[in-house]
Amino acid sequence: MENKKALWSGRFASSPGEKMQQFSQSLDVDWQFYQEDIAGSRAHGAMLYKVGLLTADEQEAIDKALYEIEKEIEKGEFMPDVALEDVHMNIEARLIEKLGPLGAKIHTGRSRNDQVATDYRLFMKKRLTDLLAEEKHLLEALLHRAEMDIDVLIPGFTHLQHAQPISMGHYWMAYFWKFYRDVNRMLFALDTTDQNPLGAGALAGTTLPIDRHITTQLLGFASVTENSLDTVSDRDYLLEFLFAASTFMLHVSRLSEDLILWNTSEFDFIELPDAFCTGSSMMPNKKNPDALELMRGKTSGVLAAMNDLMTNLKGLPLTYNRDLQEDKRPVFHALKTMGEVLGILPSLLEQIRIKEDSIAPHLKKGFLLATDVAEYLVEKGVPFRDTHHIVGQAVQACLAKGTGFEGLSLEEWKTFHPSIDEDLFPRLTIEAAVDGRKSFGGTARSEVKRQIVAGRSSISRITF
C-alpha cells in the first residue's frame, strides 16, 4: 500500500516526516487488534443504523466491506501502512478505499480514544479467559500431586533450617491455595476489563443520538463504562491484570526456588523430568533445572512490566495522552511470559519424581520433633515458655552426646522434667508428629485430605 495522508490531516499543511512516522506508529503492537477493531466497527455500524444515523443499505455495505477486510488481512492481502499510524486508521482507510465517502461514515460518534479502549478490552477479555483456563489446569495438577504425595513425609523449613515434619501433600496444597488466590485476582481483572468504552468519544461523549447499550450487547460486554473522561484515560484494568500476573509469577518463582534446591545433590529430594532440563556443553555429568531457572528469571520481566505501566500513568493529566500508546508493550510481555509458564509448569509438576529414600535421612536431622516434646509437656501442665527452655536443654544435651532424641533414655528425659514418662516415646515418630497436627489447616494427613476436598470444591466454582 502506498503512503497515504493521515485521516486527521485536514488541519495540517504537511504530513509528519518519515522519522516522526516511524517514531509515532504503533502498528508493531496494535496490529494484533485487527479482529477486535473490525468487531468494534461492525457493532458500531449496527448501532448507527438502529439509531437512524445509517440507512439499512449503508450499514449492510459497511458490514460486508469490514468482513472482507478481515479476510484480506488473514490472507496477507492487506498490509498496513506506517503513514496511517495504527490499526484503526489503516482499517478505516481501507474501508474508505472500498466504499468511498460511505466508508468515512463509520467514524461517526466515536474517536480513536474510545476505539482503542474498546479494542484493548476485547483483546484482554480473550487473553484473560485463556490464561484462566490454564491456571485452572495448574490447580488441578497441584491437587493431583497432593493426592499422590499425601503419605510422603519431608522436613518443613523456616529460614532454610529444618523445622517440623510435614506431608508433601501439605506442601503442594500450600501452592494450590497461593495459585487459587491468583485465579481470583485474575477473575477480578477480567471483571474490571469487561466494560464497554465505545461511544465515550474523544473525552466528552457526542451530541449525536448514539446508544452505547446497543454496542455493549453486540460486543458481549457485561456493562458500559459510566464516565467518558474516566473511560478514555482509564488503564486500571491493565494494572489489575499486571498485579495478578505479578503475584502469579512471584509464586512461580518461589516454587521454582524450592524445586531447584530440592533437586540439588545436597538436598536430593526430587528428580526433575529430563524434558524440562538441559545439559552442559562442557561437563557431561550435568543435568540443569533450566525450565525452573528461566521461570524464576522471567519473573523480573513481569514485575518490571507492572512498574513500567504504573510509571507511565503516574503523572498523566486527564484525559487521553499519547503516552498511553506505550501501555501495550509491558502488558503484551506479561501476557506472553505468563502464557509460556502456564504451558510448561503443570506438566513439569506432574512428572517430578519424589526420592523418598533420599529424604529419609533428612528426617533424622535438625530435631524436627522438638516442638512435639514441648507440646507434650504443655499437656502435662507445664507453661509453654518453660517447655521451650526445657526442650532446648534436651537438644543441647543431645548435641553434646552426638545423638538425636531417640538416643535419650527415660531416665535422661526425666532429668529435664519429672513429668516426662513412657507415653512420650510413641509421639517421637515422624508419622505421629505429622498426623498429630490436626488443627484446621495443619499438616495432618486427615487435614490434607480435607484441604484436597475443599480445593476441588473451590475449582468447581471457578467460572469465567
pLDDT at 10: 64
pLDDT of residue 287: 94
Q: Residue 30's domain spans which residues?
A: 16-108
Q: Does residue 189 carry a pLDDT above 60? A: yes
β-pair partners for 224:
196
Q: Domain check: are 256 and 296 in the same one?
A: yes
Largest CA distance in the chain: 102
Amino acid identity of residue 217, one-letter, is Q
Q: Within 13 Å of residue 73, how many CA atoms lie on the same side as its CB? A: 21
Q: Say yes or no to pLDDT of 192 above 90.
A: yes
pLDDT value for 2? 45
Residue 300: is its pLDDT beyond 60? Answer: yes
- Using the 3D structure, point to which of 300, 333, 361 is the last residue of a domain: 361
CA distance 62 to 74: 19
- Whether residues 162 and 144 share a domain: the answer is yes
Using one digit for the tens of pLDDT, what is the confidence trace for 232-245? Answer: 999 999 999 999 99
Instruction: Give the residue from 361, 381, 414 where a domain finishes.
Output: 361
The active-site residue out of 14, 159, 281, 460 is 159
Mean pLDDT of 194-207: 98
Mean pLDDT computed over 64-74 = 98
pLDDT of 19: 82
Total of domains in the chain:
3
Residue 163 sits in the same domain as residue 239? yes
Contact present, 342 and 134 (Cβ < 8 Å): yes
- The residue-averaged pLDDT of 203-211 equals 98
Annotation says 446 is catalytic: no
Q: Residue 6 above 80 pLDDT?
A: no
Q: Is the pLDDT of residue 1 over 60?
A: no
| From 280, 300, 389, 446, active-site residue | 280
Residue 192 belongs to a domain = yes
- Whether residues 96 and 189 share a domain: the answer is no
Least confident span in 50-54, 167-171, 172-176, 403-407: 403-407
- Burial of 408: CB neighbours in 10 Å, binned 0-12, 13-18, 19+: buried
Closest CA to 36 of 220, 213, 189: 220
Per-residue confidence band for 352, with pLDDT thresholds at 50, 70 and 90 = very high
Q: How many angstroms separate the CA atoms of 186 and 259, rounded? A: 25
CATH number, domain containing residue 440: 1.10.40.30
State the pLDDT at residue 8: 57
Taking all residues of the chain, what is their mean pLDDT, rounded to a whole number? 95
Instruction: Mark whether 247 and 347 lie in a shared domain.
Output: yes
Nearest to 177 by CA among 394, 426, 437, 451: 451
CA atoms within 13 A on the CB side of 25: 20
Distance CA 191, CA 236 (A): 12
Cβ count near 176 (within 10 Å): 25
SS (H, E, C) the chain: CCCCCCCCHHHCCCCCCHHHHHHHCCHHHHHHHHHHHHHHHHHHHHHHHHCCCCCHHHHHHHHHHHHHHHHHHHCCCCCCCHHHCCHHHHHHHHHHHHHCHHHHHHHCCCCHHHHHHHHHHHHHHHHHHHHHHHHHHHHHHHHHHHHHCCCCEEEEEECCEEEEEEEHHHHHHHHHHHHHHHHHHHHHHHHHHCEECCCCCCCCCCCCCCCHHHHHHHHCCCEECCCHHHHHHCCHHHHHHHHHHHHHHHHHHHHHHHHHHHCCCCCCCEECCHHHCECCCCCCCCCECHHHHHHHHHHHHHHHHHHHHHHHHCCCCCCCCHHHHHHHHHHHHHHHHHHHHHHHHHHHHHHCEECHHHHHHHHHCCCCCHHHHHHHHHHCCCCHHHHHHHHHHHHHHHHHHCCCHHHCCHHHHHHHCCCCCHHHHHHCCHHHHHHCCCCCCCCCHHHHHHHHHHHHHHHHCCCC
- Judge if 52 and 144 occupy the same domain: no
Share of the chain above pLDDT 70, in %: 97
> What does the pLDDT average to over 100-128?
98
What's the pLDDT band for 364 if we cut at 50, 70, 90? Answer: very high
Same domain as 104, residue 118? no
What is the structure's pLDDT at 23? 78
Q: Are strands 153-158 and 161-167 parallel, antiparallel or unpaired?
A: antiparallel
Active site residue 144: no
Looking at the fold, whether 436 and 456 belong to one and the same domain comes out as yes
What pLDDT shows up at residue 9?
64
pLDDT of 460 strictly over 90: yes
CA separation for the pair 165, 445 (Å, rounded): 12
Q: What is the pLDDT of residues 11-38, one digit of tens each?
A: 666 667 778 777 778 899 999 999 999 9
The count of other CB atoms within 10 Å of the CB of residue 170 is 25
79: pLDDT strictly greater than 70: yes
pLDDT of residue 5: 63
Is the pLDDT at 53 greater than 60? The verdict is yes
Output the nine-digit C-alpha cell for 67.
Answer: 468482513
According to the model, what pLDDT value does residue 78 have?
A: 96
pLDDT tens-place string over residues 398-446? 999 999 999 999 999 999 999 999 999 999 999 999 999 999 999 999 9
Residue 68: which pLDDT band, with cuts at 50, 70 and 90? Answer: very high
| Domain finish residue from 52, 82, 108 | 108
Indicate which CATH number applies to the domain containing 67: 1.10.275.10
| pLDDT tens, position by position, 331-349 | 999 999 999 999 999 999 9
